[in-house]
Amino acid sequence: MAKRKKQGPVNEKVAARRAARKAAKAAGGAVAPRRSFEGLPGEADWVAMREVVPAASATARTTAEHGSRDVTVVTVLPGLLPAMHREDGQILVALQNVTSSGDPSRDVAAALLQVLDSEPGTSLTHLDLPGPGPRLQDVLDLDAPFEVTLHETFDFVLPPDSDPSPEVNDALEEFAGAIVPTVKLSSVEGAYWCRMGAREFLRWSRTEDEEQLLDALARLHAERHSAVDDGARFIGAFRSCGLVVPVWELEPGTEAEELEKPAPQFEARLAEALAVTDPLNAEERRARAGIVSRQVTLR
């Protein structure tokens, strides 16, 4: 019998999500939708903000039934708070937190509904594992645009012109230490350039069917056409919330604006590969197996 590979330390947030999913399964909860954010405007950006974008905010609005309230969706709040109702009346709800029923849309909706009924100045410090109930698709106005803004600090969680205490400033600065420079491309949807140390990457959240997208990427990879730009290298993919997020390592020093032209060109090649319905040939199957072996599942 082969020896099991020794696993490294598990991220606390990931461990908490796994534990919560096990608890939900043990409780006999309903099966979560495969694509949790499907049907929301900007599905690719919802997934990217939850998994690969360090500091961002986006606009949303609740339905008339829930007061037509403006909501700021953020990647994460200090202290991993699920949501807060600022003293200026602004509602903030986080996509990255430790509570997970297996359906992020349900979790975020539960936090949002709780904080909507709270007084200004209230922070939701804990969210019990939600049972069946409204999801974001039921709570948000689906005609309201989901416009993403990237940030270099977490000061955006504070009211404008606020005068935070030294303790709050220290906490925000410490929290901001994990932010890596990130830029959202404007020429395509769901694509984010980032710089980690001396290396640059492109992470592109895609809304195509997972299996069809993997087939298309395999076809391009087998033909040596999987590079998104000259000098770039396709290195694998994340899977989260029913979407695949392909990742490329870029030529050293590549800036985000340099991808604005080649990204749509690659997307056109990808569309052609997606349109092919023939079975994969032997070389394409090998390429697909390599892609799958390098996948990291985040959900």
Other CB atoms within 10 Å distance of the CB of residue 34: 11
Residue 265 contacts residue 258 (beta carbons within 8 Å): no
pLDDT per 10-residue tile (average), the chain, 299 residues: 44 50 47 91 98 96 97 93 94 89 94 95 89 96 97 91 80 85 98 97 98 98 96 95 97 98 98 97 97 81
Residue pair 202/228 in contact (Cβ under 8 Å)? The answer is yes
The answer to whether the beta carbons of residues 250 and 202 sit under 8 Å apart is: yes
Unique residue bearing structure tokens 């990217």: 48
Strand partners, 93: 73, 83
The pLDDT value recorded for residue 163 is: 79
Rounded to whole angstroms, how far apart are CA atoms 280 and 219? Answer: 7
Tell me, what's the pLDDT at 169? 82
Residue whose pair of structure tokens reads 């696993």 in the numeric block: 7
Domain ranges of the chain: 32-176, 182-297
Nearest to 276 by CA among 205, 202, 222: 222
